Chain A
Amino acid sequence: MVLQDEGSSSSVTSSPLHNFSTMPLHHPSVAGTTTTTPPPWMARELRSDERGLCLIHLLLNCAAAASSGRLDAANATLEHIAALASPDGDAMQRVAAAFAEALARRALRAWPGLCRALLLPRSAPSPAELAAARRHFLDLCPFLRLAGAAANQSILEAMEGEKMVHVVDLGGADPTQWLELLHLLAARPEGPPHLRLTAVSEHKDVLTQTAMALAKEAERLDVPFQFNPVVAPRGLESLDLESLRVKTGEAVAVTSTLQLHSLLATSSSSDDDDGVDTNNKKKNNKDDSSSRRRRSPEDESGGSGVSPASPYCSTSSPRPSNSKGKANTNKVEAFLCGVWGLSPKVVVVTEQEATHNAAPLTDRFVEALNYYAALFDCLEVVAARGSVQRARVERWMLAEEIKNIVACDGAERRERHERLDRWAVRMEAAGFARLPLSYYALLQARRAAQGLLGCDGFKVREEKGAFFLCWQDRPIFSVSAWRGRRFD
């Protein structure tokens, strides 16, 4: 169907982007405005860049509308987005589709009955699907693999000369990283140490599979190996550090891949800015924006079962005020202090290098849009549009993260990515000092990044001993290593 132009001065030129920001979103037939014209995409087929720009504009409008509770505006904008976006199109269309779905979910929160009836939380990918998507991501893009290799190199260097090595994987590492580590340890000049690997995961079967594969490989390499699975049903916050069974006198290495940020999730309401999100949202008891900065009454830190006893950690000391309230700062600091108490020789942390934890939706939205646009671009370059793996990464992994960032709040929002400089503050507060990642690892990573795929989109930037794995100069992940600091 083609809409007729109202006949007034038309600004639909051959290049509708000429006055892009003034493009109307509504049809002139209603509301009496007469000088408007139909949107360009209705008039003719757009070029891909025009379409992309339209999508951006629409997405921002929609986010603005959703954030301020103007759900009908959001709805109308979503219609337009739906017309232009597609999960099978180009990168911009795909990322727009993902964000549109997230915005739609956010808007739907106003009708919890609808959400429940549609069983929305259950439409999330199953653990197996998520694992598959992560594996595809590992294959398609080298980021996490490079991070794992850098971590392995750090562990190797820290454990030089050790006979008993205990690696604690707090989660997120692909089993191939441990296979690599087995190979590296087996090839040590002084011979392999006895390796104990304690892996934490939310899903038992992942651990079982990992155990079998690693045990087999260790057997083949003749590396004395012991695998201890630890199931943490609700993630790191439910992890009891005692269950890691770190023995006195062991050499301990701790790794965490994209896990720590979930500890920043809190059930406090201080991080939701929906001005009009109604009180029938069962979890949140917030209402107006004046309560945005209010501290949550429920700020218990007790999830981790460890009393942080390091001289650095004192949960009663005043914290620098932040908009997230004390609850989550306590949780993550308590956890990090507990890790410090294990006396690890090295702790390697890999996290997303983005600030997706701002309280207002619009800030988060813009930051996330930039970040995931880069990731979708990367996928566009490394995989074909029809690629199943790419689709899975986009839908089961990235879109889920986007949905969590945009549509969830409070304890539900676990994808609270923060940049390394903020994590560094937390690590230092917990008693850690930076341990530079090895230069050798940097060379390897750079070589791998450049060698892969023949494209130069992947870059590794080193700063203060940490690596930033970038796509086209946009950092995507940060990898940093830490050592326990004592009494300085």
Chain B
Amino acid sequence: MNYLSDPDAEVIALSPKTLLATNRFVCEVCNKGFQREQNLQLHRRGHNLPWKLKQKNPKETRRKVYLCPEPTCVHHDPSRALGDLTGIKKHYCRKHGEKKWKCDKCNKRYAVQSDWKAHSKTCGTREYRCDCGTLFSRRDSFITHRAFCDALAQESARVPPMAASIYGSGGMTLGLSGMAATQLQSAFQDHSPGNAAAAQFDHLMPSSAGSPAAFRGAPPSSSSPFYLGGGEDGQSLLHGKPAFHGLMQLPEQHQQGGNNGLLNLGFFSNATSGQDARLIFPDQFNAAGNGGRGGDGGGDVSAGGGHESAAIFSGNMMGNNQIAGGPGAGFTSLFNASSETVAPAQMSATALLQKAAQMGATTSGGGGSGGGTSSVNSLLRGLGSSGGRPAGAAGGFMAGESSSSRSNSQAAETNESQFQDMMNSLGNGGAFGGGFAGVDDSKLSTRDFLGVGGRNAAGLQLRHGGAAGIGMGSLDPAEMK
């Protein structure tokens, strides 16, 4: 832990001379030098000299952390102080010291003798060879070299480097130029596993390798994570829907995939790395085929066919009619444009909430005196503001409720009295008649909405068991389907 976790830690800044010094402790008899005093004391025993070993008292000793004296060094900063003396000495020596030790095999120089020793043990024993022919014994230098190597640069010009990684990993990552291909491929695997999809894909992807059409001109550099969002010109196989589409598809193929369970990472194991785009597809398709998805996968993608404005799947669909035609359900969402300015035929939930809030406000304002303190009106007023901050009256609604229902004097309008009746009924604990048992038959299927957990039973029993004598009326269980 850093010293900050132990504020009593002593921050020590030693001078370069101290850090570099070796053998500070010298035997007076034979002038042999030692790095640690305790070693010197033990040596003195051999001369039959009086010796004394001091022990550190762990209770008194404070934890020490050390700073590097070099001002430009990262470890000069107390928050990055190093934890032990040997560490700081070696660090200083390595980074800011003179490299006096040299490996004879490979000409590498070291400032710290132990580093040199360690290296010469392994020098030449393990080698990495770059494609340009350079040999490396250390992995990290090999890696660094490859990032700059000219030979590799030529190769990567053919295929965007990350494209391979995408195919290899089934990459979900955004920054990668091959994304479009991935999504396309994954889009197809869902609904037509097997050869048909492969054929379709080829149809849409004239050349998978670095094709600007497929990748929509994405730059090969992977340093921009959001290429996919940028500069889309709407042309494309996906009809202007960005590569995003397949992302939704991609995990799905593995959702139903057997042992992969529902963890999407399973698809990584299917991927093989470093292959050309075309080679990958059969694997992916097989994987898709394995995950028996039944009607669901087909259903959801094909349903997307109807979307116009915001659909994810439509892009996949448009290019290829072989994929199941969009069912009617998809078309209703044609009108479901993201904007709330669409005609009330399909208002968004947020728009409905705002409208309800307005109505609640106007009712309470214009409908007479009583509405203002009613509980639901205050809640309604709390709706609709984008932050949804409830009106302050919410807290008082419990008290206000029954009083409001009584306090209304005028209630000339039928509306107002009806409202009060409603509040009355709520206040009375629900004089809800059994007549409501039979809800509209056409809506019966929706009664199952609680059926996810089968909690209908509980709800019904409440009425009988829990409604202590409220007079629920003749509620015939048989009516409750």
* Known contacts A101-B452, A217-B169, A342-B5; is-contact A386 B330 (Cβ 8 Å): yes
The chain A residue with its CB closest to the CB of B88 is A249
Which of B226, B309, B345 is in CB contact (< 8 Å) with A48? B345
Partner of A47 from the list B344, B356, B461 (CB cut-off 8 Å) is: B344
A187-B221, A385-B333 in contact; A145/B376 too (CB < 8 A)? no
Residues in B with CB closer than 8 Å to A73 are: 425-426, 429-430, 432
Question: B383: which of A56, A72, A139 is its contact (CB, 8 Å)?
Answer: A56
Determine if A196 is an interface residue (Cβ-Cβ < 8 Å): no
Instruction: Identify which of residues 374-389 in chain A touch chain B, using a CB-to-CB cut-off of 8 Å.
Output: 374, 376-377, 380-389
Q: Provide the residues of chain B in CB contact with A157, threshold 8 Å.
A: none
Cβ–Cβ contact B430 & A26, under 8 A: yes
Q: Is A232 an interface residue (CB 8 A)?
A: no
Size of the chain B interface, CB-CB below 8 angstroms = 169
| B113 contacts A by Cβ under 8 Å | no
Q: Which of A138-173 contact B (CB under 8 A)?
A: 138-140, 142, 145, 149, 152-153, 162
Q: Counting CB contacts under 8 A, is B153 at the interface?
A: no
Chain B binding surface SS class: helix
Residues on A with beta carbons closer than 8 Å to the beta carbon of B394: 360, 362-363, 366
What are 30 A-B pairs with beta-carbon distances under 8 A? A17-B359, A21-B380, A22-B367, A23-B418, A26-B422, A29-B433, A33-B421, A75-B459, A82-B449, A86-B445, A95-B349, A118-B454, A118-B458, A120-B453, A128-B263, A136-B251, A180-B173, A180-B175, A209-B265, A217-B165, A311-B7, A341-B1, A363-B390, A369-B353, A377-B350, A382-B312, A385-B330, A388-B297, A444-B230, A450-B229
Give which listed residue, A72, A118, A128, A389, contacts B430 with CB less than 8 A.
Answer: A72
- Expressed in whole angstroms, the Cα–Cα distance for A456 and B462 within the complex equals 46
Q: Is B232 in contact with A451, judged by CB distance below 8 angstroms?
A: yes
B376→A21 contact, CB < 8 A: yes
A411 within 8 A of B: no
- Cα distance, A187 to B168, chains bound together (Å): 18
Contact partners of A223 in chain B: CB under 8 A: 143
A388, B299: Cβ atoms under 8 Å? yes
- Smallest CB–CB gap between B93 and chain A, Å? 16
In the complex, besides A370-B384, A486-B4, 16 extra interface pairs with C-beta distance below 8 angstroms are A23-B418, A23-B422, A25-B426, A49-B355, A64-B375, A72-B463, A85-B449, A131-B264, A132-B264, A176-B171, A180-B173, A212-B268, A221-B165, A377-B349, A444-B225, A474-B350
Q: A373 near B353 (CB under 8 angstroms)? A: yes
The answer to whether B310 touches A387, judged by C-beta atoms less than 8 angstroms apart, is no
* Chain A nearest Cβ from B162, distance in angstroms: 6
Q: Known contacts A35-B414, A53-B359, A100-B449; decide if A111 and B466 are in contact (CB<8 Å).
A: yes
Contact among A21, A83, A105 for B440, CB-based, below 8 A: A83
B126 within 8 A of A: no
Query: Would you give the shortest CB distance from A53 to chain B, in whole angstroms?
Result: 5
Question: A residues 222-265 with Cβ under 8 Å of B?
Answer: 222-224, 242, 246, 248-249, 251
Q: Is A108 in contact with chain B by the CB < 8 A criterion?
A: yes
In the complex, the answer to whether A451 meets B228 with C-beta atoms within 8 Å is yes
Task: Give the residue name and chain of the B residue nearest to A306 (CB).
Answer: B5
Do A384 and B300 touch (CB < 8 A)?
Answer: yes
User: Is B19 an interface position by the 8 A CB rule?
Assistant: no
- CB closest chain-B residue, reference A474: B386
A82 to B445, CA, bound (A): 10
Contact A139 B251 (CB under 8 A): yes
Min C-beta distance of A38 to chain B, whole Å:
9
- Counting chain A CB atoms within 10 Å of each CB, the highest count among B139, B418, B467, B470 belongs to B418
Contacts of B310 in A (CB 8 A): 381-382, 453-455, 457
User: Could you tell me if A366 and B379 are in contact, using CB atoms closer than 8 angstroms?
Assistant: yes
Q: When the two chains form their complex, are residues A89 and B446 in contact, meaning their CB atoms are under 8 A apart? A: yes
User: Contacts of B383 on A, CB cut-off 8 Å?
Assistant: 56, 60, 366, 369-370
- In the assembled complex, A371 has its CB within 8 A of some CB on chain B: yes
Using known A-B contacts A11-B415, A447-B226, determine if residue A104 contacts B455 with beta carbons closer than 8 Å.
Answer: yes
User: Does A347 interact with chain B (Cβ within 8 Å)?
Assistant: no
Q: For residue B78, which residues in chain A have a CB less than 8 angstroms away from its CB?
A: 486
Residue among B264, B336, B363 with max Cβ neighbours from chain A (10 Å)? B264
B389 at the interface (CB under 8 A from A): yes
Q: Are A191 and B265 in contact (CB under 8 A)?
A: no
B428-466, CB < 8 A from A: 428-436, 438-443, 445-447, 449-450, 452-455, 458-459, 461-463, 466
A336 proximal to B (CB < 8 A): no
**What's the nearest-Cβ distance from chain A to residue B269, in Å?**
7
Query: Does B360 reach chain A (CB closer than 8 Å)?
Result: yes
Indicate if the CB atoms of A83 and B446 lie closer than 8 Å. yes
Residues of B within 8 A of A183 (CB): 162, 165, 173, 175-176, 222
> With A and B bound together, what is the CA distance between A374 and B353 in angstroms?
10
Contact A82 B450 (CB under 8 A): yes
Q: Kindly list chain A residues whose C-beta atoms are within 8 Å of the C-beta of B349.
A: 52, 90-92, 95, 373-374, 376-377, 380
Interface pair A216/B7, CB less than 8 Å apart: no
In angstroms, Cα B244 to Cα A175, docked, is: 17
| Docked-complex contact B422 and A22, CB < 8 angstroms | yes
B263-A472 in contact (CB<8A): no
Bound form: Cα–Cα A11–B413 in Å: 11
A205 interfacial by beta-carbon distance below 8 Å: yes
Inter-subunit contact B229/A384 (CB<8 Å): no
For B442, list chain A residues within 8 Å (CB): 45
> For the complex, is A220 an interface residue (Cβ under 8 Å from B)?
yes
> Can you list, as one digit per residue, whether each of A93-134 has a CB less than 8 Å from chain B (1) or not (0)?
101010011001101101100100010100100001101100
Q: Does B159 sit at the interface, judged by CB under 8 A?
A: no
Flag whether B352 is at the interface (Cβ < 8 A): yes
Ranked 5 nearest A-B pairs via Cβ: A448-B229, A370-B388, A451-B229, A384-B303, A132-B262
Asked if B241 is an interface residue, CB under 8 A from chain A, the answer is yes
Which one of B147, B382, B441 lies within 8 Å of A1 (CB-CB)?
A: B441
Contact yes or no, B455 A101, CB < 8 A: yes
The smallest beta-carbon distance between B402 and chain A, in angstroms, is 10
Identify which of B169, B417, B462 contacts A75 (C-beta below 8 A): B462
In the complex, per-residue mask of A44-67: 1 if CB is within 8 Å of any chain B CB, else 0:
010111001101110011011101
A340 to chain B, nearest CB (A): 7
* Interface contact B251-A135, CB-CB below 8 Å: yes
Q: Return the contact of B452 from the options A87, A114, A180 (Cβ within 8 A).
A: A87
Contact assessment for B312 and A26 in the assembled complex, using a CB-CB cutoff below 8 Å: no
- State how many angstroms separate the Cβ of A161 from the closest Cβ of chain B: 8
Q: Does A412 contact B (CB under 8 A)?
A: no
Chain B residues with CB under 8 Å of A1's CB are 438-441
Query: With an 8 A cutoff between CB atoms, is A423 at the interface?
Result: no
Among the 9-residue stretches B27-35, B79-87, B101-109, the one with 4 or more Cβ atoms under 8 Å from chain A is B79-87
Collect the chain A residues with CB atoms within 8 Å of residue B355's CB: 49, 53
Tell me if A388 and B252 are in contact (CB < 8 A): yes
Q: Smallest distance from the beta carbon of A40 to chain B beta carbons, Å?
A: 11
Residues of B within 8 A of A152 (CB): 225
**Cβ-based interface call for B280 (8 A):** no
- Bound-complex Cα distance A480 to B438 (A): 52
Contact with A along B134-156 (1 / 0, CB 8 A): 00000110111011000000000
The answer to whether B311 touches A384 (Cβ under 8 A) is: yes
CB-CB < 8 A to B261: which residues of A?
Answer: 128
Do A91 and B348 form a contact, CB below 8 Å, given A128-B262, A370-B384? yes
Chain B residues near A2 (CB, 8 Å)?
440
Q: Are B440 and A41 in contact (CB under 8 A)?
A: yes
Q: Counting CB contacts under 8 A, is A78 at the interface?
A: yes
Q: Does B332 contact A (CB under 8 A)?
A: yes
A142 to B273, CA, bound (A): 27
The distance from the CB of A105 to the nearest CB of chain B, in whole angstroms, is: 8
Say yes or no for B89: interface residue by CB 8 A criterion: no
B residues near A174, Cβ cutoff 8 Å: 172
Whether B263 lies near A132 (C-beta < 8 A) is yes
Contact partner of A79 among B251, B333, B382, B439, CB < 8 A?
B439
Which residues of B are found within 8 Å of A445, using beta-carbon distances?
A: 226
- The minimal Cβ–Cβ distance linking B91 to chain A, given in whole angstroms, is 8
Q: Does B61 contact A (CB under 8 A)?
A: no
Q: How far is the CA of A118 from the CA of B456 in the complex (A)?
A: 11
Report chain A residues within 8 Å CB of B424. Answer: 33
